[in-house]
Amino acid sequence: MRSLSPFSAAAALVLLAGTAALLSAAPAAAQVKMLGTTPDVHDPLAPPPALEPIFESAPLQLSLMQSSTAKEGDDAYQPEVGQAGKDVIWVPTPDSLVKAMLTTADVKPTDYVVDLGSGDGKIAIAAARDFGARSLGVEYNPEMVALARRNAQRAGVAGKANFIHGDIFETDFSSATVVTMYLLPSLNLKLRDTLLKMKPGTRIVSHAFTMGEWEPERTISTDDATGYFWIVPAQVAGRWAFEVGADRFAAELGQEFQKLSAARGGPIRDGAVKGTTVHLTRANGQELVGEVNGNQIVGRGWVATRIKPAG
């Protein structure tokens, strides 16, 4: 048998060391790695380079795999009741009140419903899904907007119920025929002047909170919540010339929201306006009902023409 040279003996030791490194535990591997970090010195006990990724790369590969599976959609964001928003906390309107609000507002497929502070989108989605209307939700939280869009997609109304990221005080919603909201009393009051300038007959529905002195047309009650309903009144304040049958007279009408008033002792006692419909009571007790059309009120057998605007 041929004896091993010193060089061959050193090579054999390298092979034995490499085999031992494969079978050893992590602490042993760490010791081998420490020896291998000495610069420019060949270590006969260092494991073959191909074996290093077993200890070095596996944790890195796992980290990359985890980061590539970032959560998306509903897994990434789900709102919590009571979470803070821009001006309010988020509390969803109960389904029973959503239905009652939209029913009271007499929502039809011809309507355009705008929900101010739309949250997860349930009111705008219900208007489209259950009443056939076009709808828009205005929401300040972009994550809520994304959630509402996913909910609309799941409900099959993504083409009819739309959602935008915006501020309700900076968004133009003047083309709405129905406005819904669940805000706070202070925010309702801040919106009131904007709402009163909308087209007469526009319907307004609020969950829980009123509009101060602007009294609602109706209170909506369900087992678990309360809402309020208004109709934007036409502006009829001013001096009017009346022709009622053979009678001719003039009267000054004052207006506070939907309520009308006249000077005591004059030909008109009081009245109200509901959308574009005017109800007046003459001093003699006669009831006059007519429709506002610009500077005219036209009723059956009577007409009034505004000859001087209020103020």
Q: Which residues pair with 282 in a beta bridge?
A: 268
φ, ψ for residue 137, nearest 5 deg: -105, 130
pLDDT per residue as tens digits for the range 161-183: 999 999 999 999 999 999 999 99
Report the amino acid identity of residue 199. K
Give the DSSP H/E element, type plus range, for residue 239.
strand 238-244
Name which of 32-46, 110-124, 145-159 the model is least confident about: 32-46
Report the amino acid identity of residue 198. M
Q: For residue 48, is pLDDT > 70?
A: no
3-state helix, strand, coil in the chain (%, to 5): 30, 30, 40
| Measured distance CA(138)–CA(176) in Å, rounded | 12
User: Scanning the structure block, which residue is given the tokens 């009111």?
Assistant: 123
Q: What percent of the chain has pLDDT over 70?
A: 73
The reported pLDDT for the residue numbered 172 is 97
The mean per-residue pLDDT over the stretch 11-17 comes to 40
Considering the chain, tell me which residue range(s) the CATH 3.40.50.150 domain(s) occupy.
95-231
Q: For residue 283, is pLDDT > 50?
A: yes
Report the amino acid identity of residue 256. E
CATH topology of domain 238-309: Lipocalin (2.40.128)
Query: How does residue 224 score in pLDDT terms, banded at 50, 70 and 90?
Result: confident
DSSP notation for 96-122: HHHHHHHHHTT--TT-EEEEES-TTSH
pLDDT per residue as tens digits for the range 178-221: 999 999 999 999 999 999 999 999 999 999 999 999 999 999 99
The reported pLDDT for the residue numbered 52 is 46
The mean per-residue pLDDT over the stretch 21-35 comes to 39
Long-range own/partner contacts, residues 288-291 (CB < 8 A, 24 or more apart): 288/244
- Closest C-alpha among 177, 214, 180 to residue 101: 180
The mean per-residue pLDDT over the stretch 245-257 comes to 97
More confident residue, 30 or 158: 158
The reported pLDDT for the residue numbered 56 is 42
User: Scanning the structure block, which residue is given the tokens 């949250």?
Assistant: 119
**pTM score:** 0.74
Q: Output the CA torsion 227→231→235→239 (10° steps).
A: -100
Considering the chain, tell me which residue range(s) the CATH 2.40.128 domain(s) occupy.
238-309
286 Cβ contact partners less than 8 Å away, ≥ 6 residues apart: 244
More confident residue, 55 or 225: 225
Do 195 and 179 meet the contact criterion of CB atoms below 8 Å apart?
yes
User: Scanning the structure block, which residue is given the tokens 């200890």?
Assistant: 55
Q: For residue 77, is pLDDT > 70?
A: yes
What is the CATH code of the structural domain delimited by 95-231? 3.40.50.150
Q: Cα dist. 24→13, 32, 65 in Å? A: 16, 10, 27
The mean per-residue pLDDT over the stretch 20-42 comes to 41
Q: For residue 91, is pLDDT > 80?
A: yes
Q: Output the CA torsion 270→275→277→280 (10° steps).
A: 0
The reported pLDDT for the residue numbered 311 is 78
